[in-house]
Chains A and B, each alone.
Chain A
Amino acid sequence: MLNAKNIQKDFPIFANRKKNGPFIYLDTGATSQKPKTVIDAVSRFYETTNANIHRGIYKLADEATTAYEDVRTKVAKFLNASSSSEIVFTGNTNEAINLVATGWAKKFLQKGDVVVITDMEHHANVIPWQRLRDEIGIVLYFLPLDQDYRLDYQALLSANIDLKKVKLVSIVHGSNVLGTINPIGEIVAFLKKEGIQAKVLVDAAQTVPHMKIDVQMLNCDFLAFSSHKMLGPSGVGVLWAKKELLEVMDPLFVGSHMVGKVTKEKTDFADVPDKFEVGTGKLEAVVGLGAAISYLESIGMDAVENHDKKLVKHGLKLFQQEKDFTLYGPKTEDNRLAIFSFAINGIHPHDIAQILDQSGICVRSGNHCAQTLMSILGTFATTRASCYIYNEESDLTTLFKKLINAKKMLRV
């Protein structure tokens, strides 16, 4: 059983912020806080192991290379990938999806081919496909939501598109707004059963931090996530893809480090995954990501997931109490992250977030980089509380109490 109060002691920011008043951090959906072990790993790299990688012959350079490549192996194991050469370090999830859009889809799809996404996507998994539509004329289809904010993926069968031309299905695993967890394995099986020969890309930015992910069990073809949402440093993300796909994909950026033989006339690219990592890598961020994985593994991803479930249960119970509070997201506990996007009748999300800040509560208000979803929800913006291993049920209870106060303060 995970004890959030004890977990907080591992994160320096909580003690530091609490010196000046209450501090309840409910914005992990935007970025996670960092344990001391991750912060120390980054500093320690620069204090003891800093050199450029894959280049030097001297001992320090070798140690730096090992530190970096060990994390690649660690990530592969964390995802149950069949090989560490299936792990590409990118800048973040956005960049990983762009790599698939430009390096694979733009190369192999043609005008009239269909890319399927959903109505609950983050802009990271909308805009690259809109650009592809504008550049090469793919058809972009958005799978709808049902009344419970779950994905109606079966709607694909009655959509006005040629199913034989569906070449890519790119889906968010866990919605950063609704908290809905989409059944990827079930969706992949559905596609196969219906003879839809599409590759599947999973945006796992909100799920890799929160549960055990097994890319072989999910049976997808590409998966992307970010370090900074799972206790790691910002600036690095991961694209996992099946090796045979990486081998035929084009890199996003070209230049140094990702090459083999270079002449004035011609350049050969390096083997995967180096082909996709241009220039000097995100050295300290990768090392920090390794430390983040170690920290999560010391807790156990089952414990992390069970903690989430406790918070989901508690949050749903709270939001059911106020009929003036609209909760955008499933009202049932199964397949749901501890992310609560809501509106209070007559009160703007900006004001809610500002007033909560007076009590040291950090939530996000806005469109959460999901404007296409906001228009489906019939609003421009919501307030969002998102939880992680350092949140207790009492954080949500306090949030709720302060929301009631905010309603009283601002009601005209």
Chain B
Amino acid sequence: MSNKLYSDIIMDHWKLPRNYGALSSPDIDIEELNPLCGDKIHLTVVLSNSTISNLLFTSYSCVIAKAASSIFFDSIKGKHIDEIKKITEEAFLSLLPPNYISGRTKCALLPYKAIQKGIQAYETRSSI
């Protein structure tokens, strides 16, 4: 396939997503859906001293959303949530293989939105 969007890296993460599954008793349990296309991911995270000690995700989605989730979530294991909160959209997208058609950016951003919302929900619960 000559199309750069479906590079070997993307296809590898699509067919063999890393950290795929669901954790029991997670500290963060969040589902992120794009209602315009039906892309959906479910993320579960266990924290230790506000650091990600384990995470698993499942997805019902397009190739880009699943591959981006696999690549991104693998990269944030062991990171402190303050560090993750500082990751901008641009920085996130730069982790992924290049050659995006802008029409697929929303697909790619699904895991980014999921973790940011998950952290926000966790911090809101913790401060109560």
A residues whose Cβ falls under 8 Å from a Cβ of B: 348-351, 354-355, 357-358, 365-367, 371, 379-381, 409-410, 412
Contact = CB atoms under 8 A, between A and B. Distances in A.
A354 B64 CA distance: 11
A14 B14 CA distance: 35
A410 B5 CA distance: 13
A348 B64 CA distance: 10
A57 to B, nearest CB: 49
Contacts of B2: 358
Contacts, number: 50
B107 interface: yes
B31 to A, nearest CB: 14
Q: Which of A365, A380, A412 has the most CB of B within 10 A?
A: A380
A350 B36 contact: no
B36 A381 contact: yes
B104 A348 contact: no
A366 to B, nearest CB: 6
Contact of A354 (B14, B15, B38, B101): B101
Contacts of A355: 1, 3, 6
Given A354-B6, A358-B2, A412-B15, A348 B101 contact: no
Interface in B29-75: 35-39, 61-64
A351 B62 contact: yes
Nearest to A381: B37
B98 to A, nearest CB: 15
A358 B107 contact: no
Interface in B11-38: 14-15, 35-38
A273 to B, nearest CB: 36
Contact of B38 (A358, A380, A409, A412): A380
Contacts of A379: 38
16 contacts: A348-B37, A349-B37, A350-B39, A350-B62, A350-B64, A354-B104, A355-B1, A355-B3, A358-B2, A366-B36, A367-B37, A380-B35, A380-B36, A380-B38, A409-B6, A410-B63
B8 to A, nearest CB: 12
A358 B6 CA distance: 10
Nearest to B5: A354
A380 B35 CA distance: 7
Contacts of A357: 3
Contacts of B39: 348, 350
B37 A354 contact: no
A358 B1 contact: yes
Nearest to B64: A350
